[in-house]
Amino acid sequence: MNYSIHIGPNIRQSPYFQATVADGVRSFSVYNHMYIPGTFGDPEGEYQRLMTGVVMWDVAAQRQVELHGPDAARLAQYLTPRDLSKTRVGQGRYVPICDHDGWLINDPVLLKLAEDRFWLSIADSDLVLWAGAIARERGWQVEVFEPDVSPLAIQGPKAEDVTAALFGDWVRELKYFWFKQTELQGIPLVLARSGWSKQGGFELYLQDGSRGWDLWQAVKAAGAAFDIGPGAPNDIERLESGLISYGADMRRQEFRASPFEMGFASLLALDASFDCVGKAALLGMRAAGTKRQRSGFIIDGPAVVGNAAPLTLWQGGSAVGWVSEIAHSKRLAANIGVGLVDGAALDGGAALHINLPEGARSLRPASLPFAGGR
Amino acid sequence: MNYSIHIGPNIRQSPYFQATVADGVRSFSVYNHMYIPGTFGDPEGEYQRLMTGVVMWDVAAQRQVELHGPDAARLAQYLTPRDLSKTRVGQGRYVPICDHDGWLINDPVLLKLAEDRFWLSIADSDLVLWAGAIARERGWQVEVFEPDVSPLAIQGPKAEDVTAALFGDWVRELKYFWFKQTELQGIPLVLARSGWSKQGGFELYLQDGSRGWDLWQAVKAAGAAFDIGPGAPNDIERLESGLISYGADMRRQEFRASPFEMGFASLLALDASFDCVGKAALLGMRAAGTKRQRSGFIIDGPAVVGNAAPLTLWQGGSAVGWVSEIAHSKRLAANIGVGLVDGAALDGGAALHINLPEGARSLRPASLPFAGGR
């Protein structure tokens, strides 16, 4: 099945949109009300480049929610059960965000830009509405808005060389998830060692949307010596590496999941003194214990082609969870997937299956990640 | 430019998805994290059928936010500056929703299902997060969630005949925006006289996602005698009719607009005694007066092909607003568009222009709607 996507004014264009068009983008999806490239026509080559070379991705759709003002730190801490008291200016943190019942509604990276200024670099839900409602209903002194900030990712084993060629060797010392305000050819940006792969790399948080074309061309030019090419966040690599995709793996509206179920227990500071959204519910969940758990799966049989929608996980005639995404990994010579499963179904040991278009397939639980990162 | 869209588990499928595939859907967009059909391959024929016959649309992406519980009515009223005190059970209302600064964040239809139960049938933003945060931060006794409810629209001058053939002649007495709980072949649904066109019709709010295929086939079968065909919300008709598209015409994250600017002043009850989100800001806006206003535009020159992104509206060298969407209307033998413009630019009378890919085009303000509805 191949469907076209209408490019219209109701979905936003990334500042890199025209550059990706010029470089041959073939497909888009939509993320945070913005077009995000899918593939440039060579999925296999794009994967190989990520694993062995360097790719550049338009991930502007990873929008920011800025918290700015005297109560910004207070709001940031109230939004997540992760303890932010030791987070320094210049440091990023992966911060699960829960609703008042303890269900995940987003899993952004928090960037602490100043003591009174933060970005939440968000997954695909309107966290700006959530954070804004809470700030104003509490009467806190903090502005909550989406700034003109659009990440461009450089990923892969040669990403550091490309980024050093652009910014200087100091980038080699930048620690994982740390960032620095800088500029390139007069283009203001925040440079972070981060990205939605486990192959290493950086994200350039462009702070002037009118310069998207220029930044794309600068990265492309510096990367030419390293055979850089365009690509997009890669589903196969993310499954191999055990990365979480909010929206696919869980979503508040359906397939809802708690931080305990998603394996985030060690990130939560529920015994700390600070209050946060959902604290009572999360304490209740912790006391009651978690019935479901995130798991990897190895799917038997010939290579799968991926799935268009989450798959119910069956044990005999009982639904015991779901498999959110599957793919064939050539690197691992296996069909792999991730999902959420009732722990009792794993203990029982009885056979599990999913129903693919061509028929039922058996599968076995596997620990995550499937493959090590860099 | 023709791009494909990846069908993957990170975007939800409508309960009608497989039925639209079987009936030849060619393109999708994404709305409320769900695929929504764009065209079935014959845009001209789909428009003509809407204007002269009857079409069926998968508008499941128009998701519902349910408010249910003792404080549901209190929350509904707090969310909108429109007075709901005279809204009856069984009645719908178009309710602008503003943030605390008075900017629009959604413009849903509210359906009052019971004294303690409402649906907000939403445009493309996560209002479930907004309403949920407010309810819980206030400690109100109301559940806020997305129910299993997926509208299917029947629109066009013959929509009433098709709907009467399905449900009986009582539907002919249903007043605009009123609705009734009913069923069809054991499929539970809410039937409303509503829809995102001005050609008349109904929306069937399917209440069991597992029955999407069945409902689609039932409507198709009853509609066959009236030459029903599949389609989708139509940009040309919506421009002709002056319908608002949140996301295209305005969006909180950029191109933000107030209810005054969008022409909703008569819907606001700011002198009533009830409190609502943004009331102080809206009173301030009213006192200060509105500088910008929504307007239609007639664009000179040969037929336009539509726009991929909002267009800056220029008066000489000054940006004086934006034109959100343009199209060529064969019915009106004119290029039409809608946008938001600085009122002073209209008073001045100096020439306006937009820049299209092929060059500058002059345009003139026009009152909305361009054409009458049914």
Nearest to A130 among B38, B129, B253 (CB): B129
Chain B contacts of A12, Cβ < 8 Å?
251, 253-254, 309
pLDDT at B254: 84
Q: No. of H helices and E strands in chain B? A: 9, 22
Top residue of A58, A126, A142, A297 to mutate, by most chain B CBs within 10 Å, is A126
pLDDT tens figures, B115-130: 999 999 999 999 999 9
pLDDT at A347: 79
Could you tell me the two tokens for B57?
Answer: 């649309």
A17-62+149-238 belongs to CATH 1.10.510.10: no
The alpha-carbon gap from A28 to the nearest alpha carbon of chain B, in Å, equals 5
Chain B contacts of A127, Cβ < 8 Å?
129
Domain with CATH 3.30.1360.120 in chain B: 17-62+149-238
**3 state DSSP class of B75:** helix
CB pairs under 8 A between A and B: 176
pLDDT tens figures, B80-113: 999 999 999 999 999 999 999 999 999 999 999 9
pLDDT tens figures, A211-262: 999 999 999 999 999 999 999 999 999 999 999 999 999 999 889 999 999 9
Over residues A121-141, mean pLDDT: 98
CATH number of A291-374: 2.40.30.110
- Whether residues B30 and A11 touch (CB distance < 8 A) is answered with yes
Top residue of B126, B130, B356 to mutate, by most chain A CBs within 10 Å, is B126
- Whether residues B6 and A29 touch (CB distance < 8 A) is answered with yes
Q: Is residue A373 very low, low, confident or very high in pLDDT (cuts 50, 70, 90)?
A: confident
- Amino acid identity of B122? I
C-alpha distance from residue B146 to each of B98, B150, B336 (Å):
20, 10, 36
Concatenated DSSP letters of B222-245: HHGGGT-EEE---HHHHHHHT---
Nearest to B2 among A4, A9, A324 (CB): A4
> Is the N-terminal amide bond of B369 cis, ω within 30° of 0?
yes
pLDDT tens figures, B274-286: 999 999 999 999 9
pLDDT at A2: 87
pLDDT at A1: 65
- Whether residues B306 and A11 touch (CB distance < 8 A) is answered with no
- CA-based nearest residue in chain A for residue B25: A3
Chain B contacts of A126, Cβ < 8 Å?
125-126, 129-130
pLDDT tens figures, A13-70: 999 999 999 999 999 999 999 999 999 999 999 999 999 999 999 999 999 999 999 9
How many Å apart are CA B102 and CA B98, to the nearest integer?
5
Top residue of B32, B140, B253, B322 to mutate, by most chain A CBs within 10 Å, is B253
The alpha-carbon gap from B277 to the nearest alpha carbon of chain A, in Å, equals 9
pLDDT tens figures, A332-350: 999 999 999 999 998 767 8
Task: Examine the pLDDT at B348 and tell me if it is beyond 80.
Answer: no
Angle, vertex CA A34, rays to CA A129 and CA B28, nearest 5: 115
Nearest to A29 among B11, B132, B146 (CB): B11
Cα distance from N-terminal residue to C-terminal residue, chain A: 35
The alpha-carbon gap from B306 to the nearest alpha carbon of chain A, in Å, equals 8
Which residues does A117 contact at the CB level (< 8 Å), separation at least 6?
A: A66, A67, A68, A72
- CA-based nearest residue in chain B for residue A12: B309
Task: Examine the pLDDT at A280 and tell me if it is beyond 70.
Answer: yes
How many Å apart are CA A110 and CA A94, to the nearest integer?
6
Helix (H) or strand (E) holding A50: helix A43-52
Nearest to A10 among B28, B248, B254 (CB): B248
Over residues B213-232, mean pLDDT: 98
- CA-based nearest residue in chain B for residue A254: B146
Closest CA to A130 of A159, A162, A164, A106: A106
- Whether residues A13 and B309 touch (CB distance < 8 A) is answered with yes
Concatenated DSSP letters of A54-94: -EEEE-TTS-EEEEESTTHHHHHHHH-SS--TTPPTTBEEE
- CA-based nearest residue in chain B for residue A97: B129
- Whether residues B308 and A127 touch (CB distance < 8 A) is answered with no
**3 state DSSP class of B209:** helix
State the alpha helices, DSSP H only, in A227-369: 235-241, 279-288, 343-348
pLDDT tens figures, B247-294: 999 998 889 999 999 999 999 999 999 999 999 999 999 999 999 999
Domain with CATH 2.40.30.110 in chain A: 291-374
pLDDT tens figures, B153-165: 999 999 999 999 9
Chain B contacts of A124, Cβ < 8 Å?
10, 33
The alpha-carbon gap from B126 to the nearest alpha carbon of chain A, in Å, equals 6
pLDDT at B372: 82
Chain A contacts of B2, Cβ < 8 Å?
4
**3 state DSSP class of A186:** coil
The alpha-carbon gap from B99 to the nearest alpha carbon of chain A, in Å, equals 8
Over residues A348-369, mean pLDDT: 93
Task: Examine the pLDDT at B360 and tell me if it is beyond 70.
Answer: yes
- Whether residues B33 and A247 touch (CB distance < 8 A) is answered with yes
Chain B contacts of A39, Cβ < 8 Å?
6
- Whether residues A146 and B253 touch (CB distance < 8 A) is answered with yes
- Whether residues A138 and B137 touch (CB distance < 8 A) is answered with yes
pLDDT at B1: 65
Nearest to A128 among B8, B136, B253 (CB): B253
pLDDT tens figures, A90-124: 999 999 999 999 999 999 999 999 999 999 999 99
pLDDT tens figures, A290-332: 999 999 999 999 999 999 999 999 999 999 999 999 999 999 9
**Letter string b/e over residues A290-321, b meaning 16 or more CB atoms within 10 A of that residue's CB:** bebbbbbbbbeeeebebbbbbbebbbeeeebb
Taking the alpha carbons of A316, A321, A327, A332 in that order, is the dihedral positive or negative? negative
Could you tell me the two tokens for A307?
Answer: 């799935």
pLDDT at A346: 85
Chain A contacts of B5, Cβ < 8 Å?
3-5, 27-29, 38
